[in-house]
Every structure is written in C-alpha cells, then in structure tokens.
Amino acid sequence: MAKKLVKIMNMAFRDGFQSVYGARVFSKDFMPAVDAAYKAGMRWFEAGGGARFQSCYFYCQEDAFDVMDEFRRVCPDADLQTLSRGVNVVGLDSQSSDMIKLHAQMFKKHGISSIRNFDALNDVENLRWSGQCIHDAGLVHEVAVTLMGLPPGVDSRGAHTPEFYADRVKKILDAGIPFERLCFKDASGTTPPRVAYNTVKLARKLVGDKIHIQYHSHETAGNGMTCYLAALEAGADGVDVSMAPVSGGTCQPDIVTLWHALRDSDFDLGVDIEKVRKAEETFKQCMADYFLPPEAMASDPVIIWSPMPGGALTANTQMMRDNGLMDKYDDMIKEMYDAVRLGGFGTSVTPVSQFYVQQAMNNVMFGKWKKIAPGYGKMVLGYFGRTPVEPDPEIVKIAAEQLKLEPTTKTVLEGTDADPKKSRAAAEKMLADVGLPISDENVFIAACCQEKGIQYLKDPKNAPNGVRKGASAKPAEKAGGSEFTVSVNGKPFAVKLGDDSATVDGVKYAISVQDGIQAPKAAPAAPSAAAAVAAPAGGESVSAPVPGLVLRLSVANGATVAAGDEVLVLEAMKMEIPVKAPCAGVVALTAAAGDKVSTGDQLFSVGSTGAPVAVPVAAPVAAPAAAPVATAPVAIPAGGEVVAAPVPGLVLRLSVANGAPVAAGDEVLVLEAMKMEIPVKAPCAGIVALAVVAADKVSTGETLFSIA
C-alpha cells in the first residue's frame, strides 16, 4: 500500500521568526536560508503577514513589500503564503472594507499566492468580506478555524470542543465564503490531541475529500507533535513545520523531528532529509548573531493554564525586556488565566492573545480589573465581533464604565466603515500632511501602521532598529567561559561577559569588574550633557505609573491645561496609557515622544505661571550604537505642575503645540510602549511647556512636560 504524502508548509521565515525573535529579523540575514530551503526541495513557505508585516516598519527599517518581492525572486515557483487576521488583515485594529480589499490586491501584486485567513473569535461574519477579497484577487483562500485548550477546571460552556469547531466550519460553508483550503490553527499549542483528532474527523465529513485540511500547532506546551500525529490519523492532508534554529519550543515541530516521528508509518513527507539537514545548518549560520531568548526554546506546561501563543510569547518578552518589565513575566502568565476565563473564550491568537496579555499586565501593575485594557474591554463589549460565549457580566460592566462605551451588536465592518478615521481618505491625508507620495502601498502602510508607519516612510534609515544582534554565540571553549545562564530567584537570564560589557538577555551594559568588595561610592551627579529643564516652582510633578514608551505628547510644552486633561500617552504592552494633569496650570514636559521611561520617572509637572526655576534633568547614557537625540532646553514655568513618563517608551506624537493652553484632562502627547499607545493628559488647566519631542525615548519618571 502506497504511503500518504503529507503536505508541509515551512513556517520558519514568518511564524518561526515571530515565535523566537519577536519577528525582529533583517531579510538580508535570512534570505540565504530561504534559498537553501528552496534548493532542498521545499515549495510551500509562509513568507509574511501576521506580526512580520508591522515588525518590518517598527523594528527592522525595512519595507514589508520589498521583503515579499525578494522572497518571490528567491523562490520563483513556490507557493508563498501569508497570514491575515480577518477584518484586521495585518493590523492590530480592524480595517475598513476598502483597506481589506487593498490588502489582498497588494499582497497579490508583491508575489503572494495564498493567504491563511482567521478570526480569533471564530466569528464567521469577520471572515466573509476578507475571504471574498482574497478569492477575488486571484489568491488561494485558506480559511482557518482557531483552536485553544481551555485551562483545566474551566467550564467550556460549549466552546472549544470538536462540536464547536465543526459548527464553525458549517457556518463558513453556509455563509458561502469561497475557500480552497481549511486550516485548524492552534497558536498556543494547548488543544488536547483527542480534540484535534475528533475535530478533523468531523470537519472531513462536512467538507468532503476535495478540500485540503491543514493542521497548525506549536510546541509551547509540549503538545504540538502529538496533535500533528492525531490530526494526520484523522485525515488531515498536511501540517505546518519549522526549521532549526526556530523550531520546537514556542515554534512548530521541526521538519526533521516530524520526519523521524513518521518513520515506518503510513505517511511520508516527500523530502530528501539530508538536503533538509544541510538547509538547517545554513539557517543556523544565518541566525548565529541573533539573541536567542531562553524561553523561546523551552516547552512550559504552565501554558496549559495560561494559553500564550508561541508567536506572541517572545514578542512580548522582547517588549518586556525593552521596557524593564521582565520581572513581571511569571505574574503576567498567571493572570492570563482569569483574562481568558472571564473574557468570553476568544482564541488566544493575535489580536485576542495581545488583549489577554495587556489585561493580565494591567492586573499585575494596577490591581485586578482596576484598569481595563482598551482592546480587552472593547472585545468583551462586542466591538470586535461575537465572542464564543458571553463574557462575565461584571467584567462587561467594568469595561463599559471605564471605557465609557456601551456594548454593541453591530458587525465590525459596520463600525469601521462608518468611522472616517479608518477610511482610505484618512490614510491619504496622513501621507499628504507630511508630503509623502500617495501610492496604494503607502496608503496601506499608513492605515495598518499609523504613526509608526508614517515615521518609517518619512525616514526609513532612521526608523527604530529593534533587532537584537550581538557577537556570534559560540560554545564556550572551557569551563568558566564568557557565557552563562544566571538564575535569580529561579528566573534564568542569558549573560555574556565581554572585556568592558555584559550582555543580559540581549541588552548590552557597560561594566567594570574589580577584585574584592569595595564600599559603594556616593551616587555621581547627573550627567552634564543633559539639557537644563526649568521646573515650575511649587508645581505638581507627574511620574510614570508603569515602565514604557512615550508614544505621543497630547499638549505642547508650556500649554495651559485643566485638571484631568490628557498631557501625554505612554505605550506599554501594546496598550496606550493616558497620563493626565492632576491640576490646572501650565505644563512643563521633561519627556519627549520616543523616550523610554521607568516606573517613577518624571513625565511632566503642572503649575502656575511665574519665573521658571531651572532644574537639571539627567541625560541618557550615550550608547555605542546611537547618539541620543538632542533636545533644546525647555523653560518650565515656576509653579507649574510637572508630568513625568509613567512607563518607559517612545514619544509617538505630540497632541498640542508648545505653549498651547489646555484644560485638565486634555491629551498633551502619546507614548508607545509594548505596542500600546498611552495618552498622557494634562493634570490641570494651564499652558503646556514641552520637555520632549516626537520620537524621543523616555524612561519611567522622566519629565515630559509641565503645565503652569
């Protein structure tokens, strides 16, 4: 009897990167590995989409469309597939009908041949228009049903069972959505193998033998390979694989491991395994200089209780390292349990997984349900579609009160198409306002990436570089070498020692080591390179409540605000956190857009007008890679109230001009941290005095502005 050929898609160059490096990789570094895999006989690759689209602009100083073009050049006759999130396509927010159509057209134009299309809530209404657009563009539509194992002891209430998934497939068929392939996508790798088996069995009865069924999982919980074997036995046609060094752990099972698991079975991968091994060696060489997070290579059974997707885990730990929050990781994972349990059982895959992470982080940082993350709140209120089951009524009530939104039953497209801010015209205006050419590609980038996309298009070479690379990681030649895994209170850190530096989890620090223990010296004075910022005499200072990025300034330095006015917005864990003026007065900013801040760093002050009193503000220590952005000295009015960054992050935009009058609660600027926009508002009425500019990086407690 002939063996059944298992069709495999190589996900190393999208989901593998997302699961290990937070999608932060340069295409020039990995394209030789793509070429090697192609020459080894592989003809089906995931080539983009998902978080890789935005990460090109946010972290890699690259255009995602250029990367797709290069992928097609290297693999001229391969099936190149991307990942799309239903009505969100490749954005973290829902898009309008015209942007969803443009997504399919642009990806087709730039070499893509098929698109996997899913909705994290399994709301079929969110797949209807996006699927039609993919089909109309001449692409293969691989529609997906998203899977997740619920935490032990949680009543499923009918969700995430084989019967539930089969019902989703039936609804897709009943809706008349055109598709050529069906995928069952388990991003967290938590589906029990028996559920995987029964789901595929039921689906095959519904779609017949002509529709290709693909199964997708991760090894994050150590469960992926078992589910693959179960799915194949149940009748799946193919599974997703990856290649070392981005396989296993948070990634898909390795192609070599799967090949071994299927030996002496009725299945065959149809590959030359020796050529595959050589391709993996090439891939390892390509990625040798990249920081490899230790958590990316581990299977962690706690994920069964807190279903964190492999593709989101390292993206979030990278951001947590960036923002000085890595010590909160274990607490955040634990809090995901309640975020999932009470949120309506949306599948933990982007963007819903990020909503869970954001809410879990807020519960850790601010107390249980004291601060509802906007994405999580809008999800339980129905703004992203229907959740599989009704969310907890008390959480819905809290979300409505905090976000000042009523629950909705409108479809997502009804809401987005009625929102002028999400129209093509709005994206074109963003481009025109800064003198950028209006092309279909630029319009799509502006719509999906907003301010950060515009920042890239304005100056690609000076766009943020968040790629973590260092010296090649070679094995230590002898015991007591320069590379260590240091555990502190049970938490592992990857440490590399140099002559005058230490690299901890990919972040380099200048160090000096001497024999013996010396008494600590008095703390040195603040660096003299800092610009002198005048703080208001008697002003009220506002500090960062959490570490993050100053996403944008909502008012200008010296602006007048009222108590409660938004002064700036921080970003932490992909959330926007507004920081408001505590009183009326004139704002004196001590942080700029783009600054990273730590908890307690001063953001700004608000005080009455009067003679300014100069206060020195420490400048960041100059890093070897880039000089700090120079900021002109800002006079903060005497008596002004200072507002500081609540989190470390980036000043994304200023919402008001320097010297503008504001009322309490007016937005002064917006920070970005952890892919969240964090508005910082005026604590009081007065005149804003900005101490930061757009694109400044700030630490928690750094002054953003003051109000006097």
Taking only the tens place, the pLDDT of each residue in 208-222 is: 999 999 999 999 999
Q: What is the CA radius of gyration of the chain?
A: 25
Angle at 519 between CA 515 and CA 521, to 5 degrees: 110
Domain-ending residue, one of 456, 473, 508: 508
Q: Give a yes or no: residue 471 inside a domain.
A: no
Residue 494 sits in the same domain as residue 614: no
Residues 265-274 have pLDDT tens digits of 999 999 999 9
- Kindly report the backbone phi and psi dihedral angles of residue 607, in degrees, each rounded to the nearest multiple of 5, phi listed first: -155, 180
Structure confidence at residue 298 (pLDDT):
83
The strand ranges marked E within 79-172 are: 79-84, 114-117, 140-146
* Structure token digits, residue 101: 């159509």
Residue 634 sits in the same domain as residue 700: yes
Q: Give a yes or no: residue 657 inside a domain.
A: yes
Per the structure, the count of domains in the chain is: 2
Residue 562 sits in the same domain as residue 598: yes
Is the pLDDT reported for residue 475 higher than 60? no
CA distance 91 to 445: 9
Q: Give a yes or no: residue 59 inside a domain.
A: no
- Structure-model confidence comparison of residues 34 and 333, the more confident one: 34
Polymer length of the chain: 708
Q: Give a yes or no: residue 374 inside a domain.
A: no
pLDDT tier, 507 (very low <50, low <70, confident <90, very high otherwise): low
Residue 581 sits in the same domain as residue 503: no
Residues 387-416 have pLDDT tens digits of 999 999 999 999 999 999 999 999 999 999
Structure confidence at residue 519 (pLDDT):
44
Residue 654 is part of a domain; what is its CATH number? Answer: 2.40.50.100
- Max Cα-Cα span within the chain: 91
Q: What is the mean pLDDT of residues 328-338?
A: 89
Among 84, 493, 55, 88, which Cα is nearest to 315's? 55
Domain-ending residue, one of 457, 474, 508: 508
Burial class of residue 624 (count of CB atoms within 10 Å of its CB; 0-12, 13-18, 19+)? exposed
Q: Give a yes or no: residue 572 inside a domain.
A: yes
Structure confidence at residue 404 (pLDDT):
96
- The HSE-up count of residue 281 (CA atoms within 13 Å, CB side) is 7
CA distance 588 to 641: 7
Burial class of residue 601 (count of CB atoms within 10 Å of its CB; 0-12, 13-18, 19+)? buried
Residue 613 sits in the same domain as residue 491: no
Residue 566 sits in the same domain as residue 690: yes
Residue 596 sits in the same domain as residue 683: yes
Phi-psi region of 385 (alpha: psi -120 to 50; beta: other; left: phi over 0): left
Q: Give a yes or no: residue 214 inside a domain.
A: no
Q: Which residues pair with 616 in a beta bridge?
A: 532
Q: Give a yes or no: residue 373 inside a domain.
A: no
CA distance 285 to 695: 34
DSSP code at position 182: E
Average pLDDT score, the chain: 86
Domain-ending residue, one of 474, 508, 542: 508
Residues 158-193 have pLDDT tens digits of 999 999 999 999 999 999 999 999 999 999 999 999
Residue 678 sits in the same domain as residue 576: yes
Tracing tokens 């190393």 back to the chain, one arrives at 12
Burial class of residue 9 (count of CB atoms within 10 Å of its CB; 0-12, 13-18, 19+)? buried
Give how far the C-alpha of residue 338 lies from the chain's centroid of Cα atoms, to the nearest Å.
Answer: 21
Residue 688 sits in the same domain as residue 553: yes
Tracing tokens 């030996």 back to the chain, one arrives at 263
Residue 492 sits in the same domain as residue 557: no
Residues spanned by the domain of 695 = 532-621+628-707
Residue 501 sits in the same domain as residue 641: no
Q: Give a yes or no: residue 396 inside a domain.
A: no
DSSP H or E stretch at residue 533: strand 532-535
Burial class of residue 154 (count of CB atoms within 10 Å of its CB; 0-12, 13-18, 19+)? middle
pLDDT tier, 498 (very low <50, low <70, confident <90, very high otherwise): low
Residue 504 sits in the same domain as residue 539: no
Structure confidence at residue 368 (pLDDT):
97
